[in-house]
């Protein structure tokens, strides 16, 4: 019996994300908060670059899907990289979570980045009071 772990343990960094609503395309656009420090900016830039490279390769790089979650469900919509280092979360017509999220004020996001792999792990949408 070995005492050494065979799986890598993630090293998460949680950062604040600003959320914008593109009503015409039913898309929530998430960018790094303007108040983020230098380390968070570097991690975001590297994670976004990894997501862009994964998309350009046809998602064959081993990049896991970056899910956006809310209301107790961690996987309601997935992210795609956008221009200017934003994450795009497009909701399908009829997906009720979209109207629940945009129907209340102060929508924000907590974005988790793996520090060691420089990849986004997840996004949690919430309403700040």
User: How confident is the chain (129 residues) per 10-residue block, as mean pLDDT?
Assistant: 66 94 96 93 95 82 82 92 96 93 95 93 93
Question: What pLDDT does 55 receive?
Answer: 86
Q: Give the whole-angstrom CA distance, residue 34 versus residue 75.
A: 26
Contact 32, 15 (CB under 8 A): yes
Is residue 3 in some structural domain?
no
Q: Give the whole-angstrom CA distance, residue 62 versus residue 85.
A: 20
Domain that holds residue 60: 12-127
Contact 125, 75 (CB under 8 A): no
Is residue 2 in some structural domain?
no
In Å, the largest CA–CA distance within the chain is: 57
Question: What pLDDT does 125 receive?
Answer: 97
Is residue 7 in some structural domain?
no
Q: Give the whole-angstrom CA distance, residue 2 versus residue 45.
A: 37
Evaluate if pTM is beyond 0.85.
yes
Give 73's contacts (C-beta < 8 A, 6+ positions apart).
Answer: 97
Question: What pLDDT does 5 receive?
Answer: 60
**3-state DSSP call for residue 3?**
coil
**3-state DSSP call for residue 63?**
coil
Is residue 65 in some structural domain?
yes
Question: What pLDDT does 65 receive?
Answer: 86
Question: What pLDDT does 67 receive?
Answer: 94
Our count of domains for the chain comes to: 1
Question: What pLDDT does 57 receive?
Answer: 79
Is residue 24 in some structural domain?
yes
Is residue 4 in some structural domain?
no
Is residue 30 in some structural domain?
yes
Is residue 120 in some structural domain?
yes
Which helix (H) or strand (E) is 46 found in, with range? helix 38-56
Contact 129, 23 (CB under 8 A): no
The gap between the terminal CA atoms of the chain, to the nearest Å, is 50
């Amino acid at each position: 019996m070995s005492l050494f772990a065979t799986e890598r343990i993630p090293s998460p960094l949680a950062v604040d994300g600003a959320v914008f609503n593109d009503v015409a395309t039913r898309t929530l656009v998430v960018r790094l908060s303007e108040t983020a420090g230098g380390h968070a900016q570097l991690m975001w830039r590297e994670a976004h670059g990894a997501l862009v490279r994964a998309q350009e390769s046809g998602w064959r790089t081993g990049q896991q899907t970056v899910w956006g979650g809310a209301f107790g469900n961690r996987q309601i919509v997935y992210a795609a990289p956008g221009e200017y280092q934003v994450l795009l979360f497009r909701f399908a017509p009829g997906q009720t979570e979209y109207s629940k999220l945009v129907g209340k004020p102060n929508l924000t996001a907590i974005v988790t980045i793996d520090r060691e792999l420089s990849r986004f792990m997840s996004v949690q949408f919430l309403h700040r009071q």
